[in-house]
């Protein structure tokens, strides 16, 4: 990313188990990529991933963009978006 050095180029944080350093923390990987994170991909928030740590790091970095959610289809998308909005607020609570 340093070699590219262009404001239109960024990264998507993909929320994979390989992000975990030492098996528990995403902070070392997040800190390396933080300047270029332009998008965040999450999936079901009950899987074994340090969601609160990730959301805290996003809040602390000033991230104010979108989160792509890879989840099952729903017949009530507005309700689901409100649910995920509530989760965002809870997971970024200081």
Q: What pLDDT, in 10s, does the model give residues 74-84?
A: 899 899 889 88
Does 58 have pLDDT greater than 90?
yes
Can you give the pLDDT at residue 40? 96
Residue 26 confidence (pLDDT): 96
- Report the C-alpha dihedral over residues 56, 20, 30, 85, rounded to 10 degrees: -40
- Residue 39 Cα to chain centre, angstroms: 8
The pTM score is: 0.84
Torsion of CA 58, 36, 17, 25, to 10 degrees: -50
Give me the pLDDT at residue 34, please: 95
- The mean per-residue pLDDT over the stretch 79-91 comes to 86
User: Stretch 13-39: mean pLDDT, rounded?
Assistant: 92
């Amino acid at each position: 990313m340093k070699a590219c050095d262009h404001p239109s180029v960024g990264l998507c944080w993909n929320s994979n188990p390989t992000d975990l350093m030492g098996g528990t923390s995403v902070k070392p990987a997040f800190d390396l990529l933080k300047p270029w994170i332009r998008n965040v991909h999450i999936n079901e928030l009950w899987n074994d991933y340090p969601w609160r740590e990730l959301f805290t790091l996003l809040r602390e970095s000033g991230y104010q963009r979108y989160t792509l959610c890879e989840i099952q289809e729903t017949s009530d998308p507005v309700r689901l978006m409100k649910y995920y909005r509530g989760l965002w607020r809870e997971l970024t609570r200081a």
